[in-house]
Amino acid sequence: MKPEGQLNSSSDRLRDPSAARPPRTSIWLAFVSIGAVIVAQTYAILTSPAEGDMGHLQKIMYVHVPAAWMTFLSFFVVFAFSVRYLWQRRENDDLLAASAAEVGATFNGLTLMLGMIWGRPAWGVWWVWDARLTSTLVLFLIFVGYLALRAFTDDTQQKARWSAAVGAIGALNVPIVYMSVKWWRTLHQPPSSPATLDPRYTMGLRLNAIALLLVMIYFIRKRYEIARLERATEHMAEAAAMGGK
């Protein structure tokens, strides 16, 4: 007696060459993204004059603000691939969403930490209950829940379906959380973007955003590659245990 469905599905995946051999993230992407960060940071620090109120403290913006953008970008990736997973049920979409969630949570944590380090001298407090801070923290907690759910679920199919649902519904909540906290209280300075910024700072910010975007792509690709390898190992072990090839 052998469980037909399971054996077939896993050996199908093994026969499919693209599934068996995960994509290799080339090493140049690592060098390029790290190099871009070094160049962008150096450029930004050398060209930006000391800011009127904050002095050189303003330089923290070159990591804090792009990191916040990358947080939202990677969670958008989680949302998009979660929805596509639920729609088409392709395993790789699940792995990509999970990789983006891990990277997004890292950028999210970085944003929060840097924001606090910036806020302490600029506002005199580590934390204020303002809309953007609070909703960024809530976003962090939502995706901590997402990653915890993955960690506490053993069945890979269940893990994929559940985390896709949590990822999609969690992302849906982000604008609602933001609006509700904004109504509740607001204190943050207007968001830093090239449009609101003194032109002497914009180029540095743009360059750093591009650099961190490359870092984010590299991290997600690398994490995705590892996830694919892990999954391929599981499938092989499963096939071997079933007495297959």
Footprint of other proteins (CB under 8 A): 86, 138, 141-142, 144-145, 148-149, 152-154, 158, 161-162, 164-166, 168-170, 172-173, 176-177, 179-181, 183-184
CB distance 199 to 48 below 8 Å? no
Shorter beta-carbon distance to other proteins: residue 86 or 236 = 86
Shorter beta-carbon distance to other proteins: residue 145 or 191 = 145
* CA-only gyration radius of the chain, Å: 21
CB distance 71 to 139 below 8 Å? yes
CA 18 to chain centre: 25
Q: How many CB atoms lie within 10 A of CB 141?
A: 12
From the CB of 161, what's the least distance to other proteins, in Å?
5
CB distance 194 to 6 below 8 Å? no
From the CB of 74, what's the least distance to other proteins, in Å?
17
Shorter beta-carbon distance to other proteins: residue 28 or 184 = 184
CB distance 128 to 187 below 8 Å? yes
From the CB of 114, what's the least distance to other proteins, in Å?
21
- Its sign, for the CA torsion 133, 139, 141, 147, is negative
Instruction: Give me 245's structure tokens.
Output: 């090839």
From the CB of 75, what's the least distance to other proteins, in Å?
13
Integer Cα distance of 132 and 151 in angstroms: 28
Q: How many CB atoms lie within 10 A of CB 119?
A: 19
Shorter beta-carbon distance to other proteins: residue 34 or 138 = 138
From the CB of 216, what's the least distance to other proteins, in Å?
23
Shorter beta-carbon distance to other proteins: residue 164 or 197 = 164
